[in-house]
């Protein structure tokens, strides 16, 4: 397939805008927007991490008084859990891999001159920022932040009188999610248009890096999945303020007071279907970019081409397609028809096939590969470890009979924190360490980077792996503290204490990363034009290079002068085969 002719005519570069605000704040430059997205994600992850530490400290020492606040009530605990989950899932695990990284390298990787819609791309960032501010405003409104969890199940979320924080705080949550949906759809539409219409000369679909294929798939999932979530947010707002009853059933009683409903009433199950139709694709929106990054970095640091490039592309597309049909496995205990539960269990098992195929491909690349254990490579291996260990519990939760017991326990918390949070975050670290020279022309400190990796890896497993045992013992995941007549609870207190200490260590390890980021910007080792000896276009010395080959041409047979051949270079001509040296041919 030939590249579109639209990108063959390169638009002359416009004069750079003058003034700090025009150049660095109100800009359409995709690299500057990438930095702004990274800063937004940094702010969100700092707040979300602090909230997670509040959760862990309260679970071990429920009577502790926090500075400037005091002792935490059960409803305060639920509000912290709600805001922690919302910040991490939307503003960290979605924004950084699906908005920051494509803005950083997508244009260069496809040999384009700019984004398809630069102003739309910039508008998406500012709407995302507004969404973050609206969400954080929930902490400061009367009654505080909502307590209905990041999933905001009705009728608890649909009725302001349902509990503390369900008034103005819940409204802030709904408005923030609606704004985020708009921003995500606009951003993804821009990425799709850029990939399809602005590829550079020679950049066919068969030459796209696997990172671009992952962004293409996750962008398509974003457009498809966020539209129902936006509609659900509007419907929930209408239930709360317009007298509608999309999610409020007839005869609902709140605090002993019957709730009047319009017409024949609604059903909370409608929210579950709309939300989880978004919610499970969101897992792949977060993790598919990490899978693309893993493929690229494993090829680079093992100096081996990706085996079965077309197979990997097909597996990525299959994960995206099948990801749209598994949302029901989140609803096994909600009264879902058992036949539907069986069907969703089968589709959940089916999606493990392309995921396992990609894992086997990564392991094949490691086999006899000449591994260079740089910091980006270590975090890639960490991603692979978490993706496998967390993914192994997925088929367990895909069985309706097992999920009925495990669904509301810490077993589920362990599963999604390993396969989505830790695997996703480690892929983000890998990408930041790898692409850092593009922003600063310097390398991050390797010693600090490796210390950051090992402490984070050990602390992450110490935090989330024991949660499997807590979940098997029946520990519920929404309780503010372990209390009640259950005999297993006292035996879980040491487990909870160990998890908390590991969480504190995990948070402390990120201070090493922050120090490394800011210190290396001034004092890091200067990077050359292609410090990792990579093959994709973001490392090309020329602007808008012509694509002359496939990505990931590594190894002695790459055709280059060294052990790799960049996409912007032609293979060296091979010498003609001469069976015998001149003058030595036998008669």
Using CA atoms, how far apart are residues 548 and 546, in angstroms rounded to an integer?
6
Helices (H) and strands (E) in the chain, counts: 19, 4
Q: What is the CATH number of domain 32-539?
A: 1.20.210.10
> Which helix or strand (DSSP H or E) is residue 50 part of?
helix 30-60
pLDDT tens-digit series, residues 525-541 = 999 889 999 999 999 98
pLDDT tens-digit series, residues 269-308 = 999 999 999 999 999 999 999 999 999 999 999 999 999 8
User: Is the separation of the CB atoms in 99 and 37 below 8 Å?
Assistant: yes
Using CA atoms, how far apart are residues 484 and 490, in angstroms rounded to an integer?
10
Longest dimension (CA), the chain: 109
What are the φ and ψ backbone dihedral angles of 70, each rounded to 5 degrees?
105, -160
The runs of H, that is alpha helices, within 165-267 are 168-197, 210-241
Peptide bond into 56 cis (omega under 30): no
Using CA atoms, how far apart are residues 218 and 290, in angstroms rounded to an integer?
11
Q: C-alpha distances in angstroms, 545 versus 202, 284, 541, 566?
A: 9, 31, 9, 11
- Calculated CA dihedral for residues 541, 546, 548, 551, nearest 10 degrees: 60
Burial annotation 249-261 (CB, 10 A radius, 16+ → b, else e): beebebeeeebeb
Structure tokens that stand for 418 in this block: 């390993």
- Calculated CA dihedral for residues 379, 414, 315, 213, nearest 10 degrees: -50
Using CA atoms, how far apart are residues 476 and 135, in angstroms rounded to an integer?
27
Using CA atoms, how far apart are residues 78 and 543, in angstroms rounded to an integer?
51
Helix axes 338-366, 375-391, angle to 10 degrees: 150
Residue 417 is predicted with a pLDDT of 95
CB atoms within 10 A of CB 243: 10
Structure tokens that stand for 500 in this block: 């908390």
Using CA atoms, how far apart are residues 130 and 128, in angstroms rounded to an integer?
5
Using CA atoms, how far apart are residues 471 and 415, in angstroms rounded to an integer?
10
Residue 245 is predicted with a pLDDT of 85
User: Is the separation of the CB atoms in 198 and 114 below 8 Å?
Assistant: yes
Domain residue limits, the chain: 32-539
Residue 51 is predicted with a pLDDT of 95
Confidence (pTM): 0.91
- Residue 183, CB-side half-sphere exposure with 13 Å CA sphere: 25
Give the chain's residues under pLDDT 70.
1-24, 255, 257, 259-264, 483-488, 557-561, 572-587
Q: Residue 153 class from Cβ within 10 Å (0-12 exposed, 13-18 middle, 19+ buried)?
A: middle
């Amino acid at each position: 397939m030939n590249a579109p002719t639209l990108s063959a005519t390169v638009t002359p570069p416009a004069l750079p805008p003058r003034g700090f605000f025009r150049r660095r704040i109100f800009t359409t430059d995709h690299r500057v927007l990438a930095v702004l997205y990274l800063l937004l994600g940094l702010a969100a992850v700092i707040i979300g991490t602090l909230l997670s530490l509040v959760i862990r400290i309260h679970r071990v020492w429920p009577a502790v008084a926090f500075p400037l606040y005091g002792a935490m009530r059960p409803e305060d605990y639920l509000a912290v859990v709600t805001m922690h989950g919302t910040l991490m899932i939307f503003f960290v695990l979605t924004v950084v891999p699906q908005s920051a990284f494509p803005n950083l390298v997508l244009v260069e990787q496809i040999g384009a001159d700019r984004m398809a819609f630069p102003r739309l791309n910039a508008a998406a960032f500012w709407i995302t920022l507004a969404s973050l501010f609206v969400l954080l405003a929930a902490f400061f409104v009367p009654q505080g932040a909502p307590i209905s969890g990041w999933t905001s199940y009705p009728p608890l979320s649909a009725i302001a009188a349902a509990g503390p924080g369900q008034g103005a705080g819940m409204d802030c949550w709904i408005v923030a999610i609606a704004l985020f949906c708009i921003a995500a759809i606009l951003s993804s539409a821009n990425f799709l248009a850029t990939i399809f219409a602005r590829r550079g000369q020679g950049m066919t679909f068969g030459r796209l890096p696997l990172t671009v294929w992952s962004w293409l798939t996750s962008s398509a999932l974003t457009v498809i999945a966020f539209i129902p979530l936006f509609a659900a947010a509007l419907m929930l707002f209408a239930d709360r303020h317009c007298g509608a009853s999309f999610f409020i059933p007839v005869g609902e009683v709140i605090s002993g007071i019957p709730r009047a409903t319009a017409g024949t009433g609604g059903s909370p199950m409608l929210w579950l279907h709309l939300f989880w139709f978004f919610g499970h694709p969101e897992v792949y929106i977060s993790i598919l970019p990490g899978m693309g990054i893993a493929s690229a970095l494993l090829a680079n640091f093992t100096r081996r081409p990706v085996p079965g490039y077309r197979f990997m592309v097909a597996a990525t597309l299959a994960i995206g397609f099948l990801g749209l049909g598994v949302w029901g496995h989140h609803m096994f205990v909600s009264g879902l028809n058992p036949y539907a539960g069986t069907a969703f269990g089968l589709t959940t098992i089916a999606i493990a096939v392309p995921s396992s195929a990609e894992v086997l491909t990564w392991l094949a690349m490691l086999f006899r590969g000449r591994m260079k254990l740089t910091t980006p490579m270590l975090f890639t291996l960490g991603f692979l470890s978490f993706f496998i260990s967390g993914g192994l519990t997925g088929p367990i939760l895909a069985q309706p009979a097992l999920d009925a017991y495990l669904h509301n326990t810490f077993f589920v918390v362990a599963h999604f924190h390993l396969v989505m949070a830790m695997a996703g975050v480690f892929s983000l670290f890998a990408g930041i360490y790898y692409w850092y020279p593009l922003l600063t022309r310097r390398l991050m400190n390797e010693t600090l980077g490796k210390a950051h990796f090992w402490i984070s890896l050990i602390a992450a497993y110490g935090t989330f792996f024991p949660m499997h045992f807590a979940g098997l013992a029946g520990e519920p995941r929404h309780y503010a503290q372990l209390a009640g007549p259950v005999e297993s609870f006292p035996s879980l207190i040491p487990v909870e204490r160990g998890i908390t200490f590991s969480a504190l260590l995990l948070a402390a390890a990120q201070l090493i990363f922050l120090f490394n980021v800011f210190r290396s910007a001034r004092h890091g080792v200067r990077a050359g034009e292609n410090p990792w000896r990579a093959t994709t276009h973001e490392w090309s010395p020329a602007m808008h290079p012509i694509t002359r080959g496939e990505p990931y041409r590594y190894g002695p047979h790459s055709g280059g002068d060294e052990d790799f051949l960049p996409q912007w270079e032609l293979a060296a001509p091979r010498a003609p085969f001469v069976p015998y040296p001149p003058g030595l041919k036998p008669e």
